[in-house]
């Protein structure tokens, strides 16, 4: 809520174009600072992975390079989408029957480029934008589904959005997955990926130095083109994102944070 209020104040001061430029500058500065200064290198490994994505595209933006590198070595990667993505339909009539299947097909196409077969993709299809407002019964249902998937596939690593990712569904996804792991005493390496964090989080207000200090930098140079092609599959989303937003995911590095 604090971040939302700060963004609203900035929007009153700056036109959208200026605000986008400001956010792009902040994102670029933070990414460069982490990649070239404060982060530790994350070495490639043979660990199997499960990626939890709030919406169809977050997995490719945040983890596309990691997914592609693992898959080209034949390492198992499972991708789980928590929501149906209908929120991006906006005021489009009958969005559930139009944008939802479009986003699913975009996700399947993007992940195929990254090396993930449709049989390794799971759509939990919860309502987009609802994850932070679920009642206890709904939360436990998702937690049980998540725990069941982790226990069935037994991945070595689990990837989730950053706990401060400045998006309600993203932060709720982190909490749901974290709870599922804790309640079921699952032993797995947890890694967080940022999507909106660098774009929206005011430095030193929400994003602290200790947050940045825990970052890892992962080289995706060998699969950088695969990731670009996968991002391009999300045609229903690209034009609705802020100018410059996608650019932060096109570099030869991905940034992760430990559990």
Q: Are the C-beta atoms of residues 44 and 221 closer than 8 Å to each other?
A: no
Structure tokens at 53: 């994505």
Which of 259 and 161 is assigned the larger pLDDT?
161
Express each pLDDT in 14-40 by its tens digit.
446 777 888 888 888 888 888 888 788
pLDDT of residue 30: 84
Exposed/middle/buried for residue 90 (C-beta within 10 Å: 0-12, 13-18, 19+):
exposed
- Could you tell me the CA-to-CA distances from 89 to 71, 95, 100, 206 in Å, in that order? 31, 5, 8, 29
Q: Which tens digits make up the pLDDT trace of 161-209?
A: 999 999 999 999 999 999 999 999 999 999 999 999 999 887 667 778 7
pLDDT at 90 over 70: no
User: Which comes out higher in pLDDT, residue 124 or 240?
Assistant: 124
Q: Average pLDDT in the 40-54 region? A: 96
**Cα 206–212–218 angle (5° rounding)?**
130
Are the C-beta atoms of residues 197 and 166 closer than 8 Å to each other?
yes
Rounded CA separation 21/244 (Å) = 8
Q: Give the residue among 149, 188, 140, 137 at the shortest CA–CA distance from 53.
A: 149
Cβ density class 98-118: b for 16+ within 10 Å, e for less: ebbebbbebbbbbbebbbbee
Q: How far apart are CA 102 and CA 35, in angstroms?
A: 34
Burial grade of 221 (CB within 10 A; 0-12, 13-18, 19 or more): exposed
- 154-166 per-residue burial string, b: 16 or more CB within 10 A, e: under 16: ebebbbbbbbbbb
């Amino acid at each position: 809520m604090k971040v939302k209020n700060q963004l609203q104040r900035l929007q009153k001061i700056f036109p959208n174009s200026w605000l986008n430029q400001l956010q792009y500058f902040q994102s670029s500065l933070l990414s460069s600072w982490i990649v070239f200064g404060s982060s530790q290198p994350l070495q490639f490994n043979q660990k199997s992975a499960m990626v939890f994505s709030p919406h169809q595209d977050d997995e490719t933006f945040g983890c596309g390079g990691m997914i592609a590198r693992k898959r080209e070595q034949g390492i198992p990667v499972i991708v789980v989408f928590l929501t149906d993505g209908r929120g991006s339909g906006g005021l489009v009539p009958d969005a559930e029957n139009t944008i939802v299947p479009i986003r699913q097909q975009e996700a399947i196409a993007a992940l195929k480029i990254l090396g993930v077969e449709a049989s390794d993709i799971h759509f939990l299809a919860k309502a987009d934008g609802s994850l932070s407002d679920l009642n206890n019964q709904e939360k436990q249902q998702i937690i049980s589904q998540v725990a069941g998937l982790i226990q069935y596939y037994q991945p070595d690593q689990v990837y989730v959005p950053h706990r401060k990712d400045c998006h309600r569904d993203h932060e709720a996804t982190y909490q749901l997955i974290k709870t599922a792991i804790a309640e079921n005493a699952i032993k797995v390496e947890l890694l967080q990926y940022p999507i909106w964090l660098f774009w929206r989080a005011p430095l030193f207000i929400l994003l602290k130095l200790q947050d940045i200090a825990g970052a890892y930098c992962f080289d995706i140079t060998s699969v950088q083109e695969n990731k670009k092609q996968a991002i391009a599959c999300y045609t229903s989303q690209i034009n609705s994102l802020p100018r410059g937003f996608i650019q932060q995911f096109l570099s030869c590095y991905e940034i992760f944070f430990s559990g």
